[in-house]
C-alpha cells in the first residue's frame, strides 16, 4: 500500500468530480464510463442525472484513499462496526456479507425500505423503479474515487479527494429527486443523520487500518477470498501506475 506523493498527482487528474447541484460529472474523468457504472446500480442514467444535492457533509479522514474504497467494497466489517445499519439490513451480518447480491440489490429487513434509523421515510421512491428496486439497496464504486450508495428515495454519493498519502477528504452528497425537494415538508435529516453515524464508523476503522500500516512491524497485508473486489482496486491501479507504484 506504499504510495508516493508524486503518484497522488496522477490520481487527482483522474478523479471524477461533480458540482453540488446538479449531480454532474465533469470532463475530468478519464477512461471510465461513469454513466454506465451508475446505471449498473439499477437507477436509469436519466433518473440519476435528475437528482439534486439536498445536503453535503465533508469528512477529513486520516487514511489513504485506497483503504476507504476497499472498505466500501467489502462488508465483513459491517456486523461488528455497523450495528445500526445491520438492524436495517440483517443480511450484512451473515457470512461476512460475502453472499450479498449487489447487482440485484440487498434486501432490507421486513418493513424497511431505506437507510434511515427507522428503515422508512416520507419520501417517495424515485420514479421509474420497479417493485424490487423500491425495496432493495444497491451500491457501486465508480473508479477511482466515487462511491455511490442507492436507496429507493435517496442516494449517498461519496467523492474522495486524496490530499496526502495518509489523508483523504470525503465529500458526501445526499441526492434527492427534485419533486421531493420542492415539497414544503422536505426534510433530508432522516437519511443524513443515519449516514453520518455510519460514515463516522467507517472513517474510524479506516484510520485504524492506516495507523496499523504505519507500524514499524507492518510489511504487507493479505486479501481474503471475500475481498475480490478490493483486489480489483489493486489491479485497476497496477494497470495504470505499474506494479511497483502500489507496493
Ligand atoms: Fe462500512
CA of 81 to the centre of ligand 1 (A): 7
Q: What is the 3-state secondary structure (H, E, C) of the chain?
A: CCCCHHHHHHHHHHCCCCCCCCCCCCCCCCCCCHHHHHHCCCCCHHHHHHCEEEEEEEEEECCCHHHHHHHHCCCCCHHHHCHHHHHHCHHHHHHHHCCCCCCCCEECCCCCCCCCCCCCCCCCCCCCCCCCCCCEEEEEEECCCEEEEECCCCEEEEEEEEEECCEEEEEEEEEECHHHHCCCCCCCHHHHHHHHHHHHHHHHHHHHHHHHHCCCCCCCCCCCHHHHHHHHHHHHHHHHHCHHHHC
Q: In this structure, what C-alpha cell is assigned to residue 50?
A: 435528475
Averaged pLDDT, 211-229: 82
CA of 36 to the centre of ligand 1 (A): 24
Q: What's residue 36's pLDDT?
A: 56
Q: Which residues of 26-41 are buried (b: 16+ CB within 10 A; e: fewer)?
A: eeebeebebeebbbbb
CA of 185 to the centre of ligand 1 (A): 30
Averaged pLDDT, 93-117: 87
Nearby residues for ligand 1 (ion, Cβ within 5 Å): 202
The answer to whether the pTM exceeds 0.85 is no
CA of 183 to the centre of ligand 1 (A): 31
Q: How far is CA 184 from CA 54, 169, 181, in A?
A: 13, 32, 8
**pLDDT higher than threshold 80 for residue 236:** no
CA of 175 to the centre of ligand 1 (A): 19
Distance CA 162, CA 168 (A): 4
| In the chain, domain spans | 5-246
pLDDT confidence band for 83 (50 / 70 / 90)? very high
Distance CA 222, CA 231 (A): 10
CA of 160 to the centre of ligand 1 (A): 15
pLDDT confidence band for 239 (50 / 70 / 90)? confident
Q: What's residue 35's pLDDT?
A: 55
Q: Which residue has the higher pLDDT, 191 or 37?
A: 191
**pLDDT higher than threshold 60 for residue 199:** yes
Average pLDDT of the residues of the chain: 80
CA of 174 to the centre of ligand 1 (A): 17
Assign domain 5-246 to a CATH class: alpha beta
**pLDDT higher than threshold 50 for residue 30:** no
Amino acid at each position: 500500500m506504499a504510495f508516493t506523493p508524486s503518484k497522488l498527482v496522477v490520481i487527482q487528474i483522474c478523479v471524477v468530480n461533480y458540482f453540488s447541484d446538479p449531480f454532474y460529472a465533469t470532463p475530468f474523468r478519464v477512461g471510465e464510463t461513469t454513466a454506465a457504472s451508475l446505471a449498473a446500480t439499477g437507477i436509469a442514467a436519466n433518473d440519476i442525472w435528475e437528482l439534486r444535492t439536498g445536503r453535503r457533509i465533508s469528512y477529513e479522514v486520516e487514511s489513504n484513499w485506497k483503504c476507504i474504497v476497499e472498505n466500501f467494497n467489502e462488508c465483513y466489517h459491517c456486523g461488528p462496526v455497523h450495528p445500526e445499519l445491520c438492524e436495517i439490513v440483517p443480511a450484512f451480518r451473515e457470512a461476512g456479507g460475502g453472499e450479498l447480491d449487489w447487482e440485484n440489490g440487498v434486501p432490507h429487513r421486513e418493513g424497511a425500505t431505506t437507510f434511515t434509523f427507522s428503515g422508512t421515510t416520507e419520501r417517495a421512491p424515485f420514479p421509474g423503479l420497479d417493485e424490487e428496486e423500491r425495496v432493495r439497496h444497491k451500491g457501486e464504486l465508480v473508479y477511482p474515487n466515487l462511491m455511490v450508495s442507492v436507496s429507493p428515495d435517496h442516494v449517498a454519493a461519496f467523492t474522495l479527494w486524496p490530499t496526502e498519502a495518509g489523508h483523504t477528504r470525503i465529500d458526501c452528497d445526499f441526492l434527492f429527486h427534485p419533486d421531493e425537494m420542492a415539497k414544503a415538508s422536505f426534510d433530508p435529516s432522516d437519511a443524513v443523520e443515519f449516514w453520518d453515524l455510519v460514515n463516522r464508523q467507517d472513517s474510524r476503522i479506516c484510520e485504524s487500518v492506516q495507523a496499523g500500516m504505519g507500524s514499524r512491524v507492518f510489511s504487507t497485508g493479505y486479501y481474503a477470498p471475500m475481498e475480490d473486489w478490493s483486489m480489483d482496486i489493486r489491479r485497476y491501479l497496477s494497470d495504470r501506475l505499474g506494479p511497483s507504484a502500489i507496493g
